[in-house]
Structure 1
């Protein structure tokens, strides 16, 4: 059953997606500013070109996807496939690039082909997540912070060339230095990066604190237990493709992450994708994930309105 609580739903009644988005742009901007999530249903569309016209109508200036954490393919100008993980895998809740030094303020998801079964993109209000998070979890993470450790080039996960979209070590060095990353080149053409970041941040437009991190996705407990044990045995506890620790480098207990994950499970809003659905969300107000699926699911995504840890941008859209 669809749960659209907190999501504004607009009906296009067969109008071309690009034309509808342009005509309704003020209402869509107002709804995103007020509630953080808008779902457009019933539009006519044929594919990437219609999605890009809708993005243009909404004032999206699509971002490059750098410091990647998942495999994607670019299928248009700033339009990517959603994460290309096997259909059987569930992607836990996260705010896009919350582990990075910069992230998109807005995301747009376009359903070109819905799954035969499953395949929802659950979203969760991260302001409410923070309100419902157990006090001991918030206190521990706010006092100690987070440390994201990422390893590239081990044959598991992404190679550094794909993650940073360059073949040049010098370019990676410059990116890391400019973006506040600690980095180390290892033997066998491997790279390790470390970023220290808070678990909660203040939304630059609402002024409210939100839960904004990759804890439940990057933590080792997100892996199936057998795979987790195998990867640690093979690469060592500090050699996994992605991991998140306390800021001082000590492990975050599985129980703490389980408590955080339980809040997301209670608060998540789920709906079945329909062909040509367009979902626009504020990336600092709603997290997202992916459910397992069967069939030929194809959901595209575009990112806009960059936000950095060091500066607050001028609003790129009303609100």
Structure 2
């Protein structure tokens, strides 16, 4: 069942996607600024090229996808497939690259092929999420901060070459130094990175405090219980592909993450994709995720408007 509360829907009534977006670019931009989420529905498109043209009309200057956390394929200039995880896997709510030192301000999703069932991209207003999280949880993460620990090249998750789009260790070293990312080269050509970051942020335009982190997605408790146990047994606690701890390195309790997850579940909005739907999101106002699905779902995504946590960020 569709729930589009808080999302601005603009009906294209069968118009071609590119000319419609060109004609209504100002309106789409204003509505994105107002609500943070705009769904353009009912347009006709020919696939990836029309999406690329619509992005140009919207003023997107597509970003590269570096310090990756998931496997994707680039299919055009700054246009990627959505995360290529198995169809049965649910992707928890997150703001794109909120674990990094720099992230996109806006995202655009385009539906080439809707799933036969499921496959929605639920979205959540992260300022509202913050209102629903218990005060003691907010105090804990705000006071102690978060520590993202990521391991590359152990045969589970991404290899460092793919994650950093790099051919050499020297390229990775330069990237990490520029973005304040701690790194350690391990045996078997593996890499570990550590980033300490705040759990909250202030939206640069609205001035509202927001929940802006990867706690729910990267925490061990987001893995199915059997998978979590198997990975810890096989790799060890400190060699998981992704993990998030308190800033001092102590574990974040499962029940704390469960409280945050519940807040997302209460505030989440979802709709079934229709062919040629175009969704534009303010990445610091709305998180997104993915439902499990059946069929040949194909959603494309592009990112623009780099926002940096610090002047050193790229």
Bin for the TM-score computed over the shorter chain: over 0.9
Structure 2 runs not aligned, ≥5 long? none
- Describe the SS at the equivalent of 1:50: helix
| Deviation sequence 1:6-58 (CA, Å, 0-9, x none) | 00000111111111111111111111111100000000101110001100000
* Equivalent in the alignment of 1:234: 234
TM-score by length of 2: 0.99
Alignment of 1:1-319 (within 5 A): 1-311=1-311
Q: Does the CA-based 8 Å contact 2:180-2:312 persist in structure 1?
A: no
Closer/same/farther in 2, CA of residues 312 and 43 from structure 1, 3 Å limit: farther
Q: Does the CA-based 8 Å contact 2:110-2:276 persist in structure 1?
A: yes
Structure 1 runs not aligned, ≥5 long? 314-319
How far residue 242 of structure 1 moved from its aligned partner, in angstroms, is 0.2
How far residue 207 of structure 1 moved from its aligned partner, in angstroms, is 1.1
Mapped partners of 2:228, 2:245: distance in 1: 15
TM-score by length of 1: 0.97
- Describe the SS at the equivalent of 2:238: coil
| Deviation sequence 1:248-286 (CA, Å, 0-9, x none) | 000000000000000000000000000000000000000
Q: Does the CA-based 8 Å contact 1:204-1:312 persist in structure 2?
A: no
Q: How many matched pairs?
A: 313
How far residue 180 of structure 1 moved from its aligned partner, in angstroms, is 0.7
- Describe the SS at the equivalent of 1:187: coil
How far residue 311 of structure 1 moved from its aligned partner, in angstroms, is 4.7
Mapped partners of 2:175, 2:298: distance in 1: 31
Q: Does the CA-based 8 Å contact 2:179-2:312 persist in structure 1?
A: no
How far residue 312 of structure 1 moved from its aligned partner, in angstroms, is 12
Q: Does the CA-based 8 Å contact 1:81-1:298 persist in structure 2?
A: yes
**Which portions of structure 1, spanning 4 or more consecutive aligned residues, are displaced by more than 2 angstroms?**
none
Mapped partners of 1:137, 1:279: distance in 2: 32
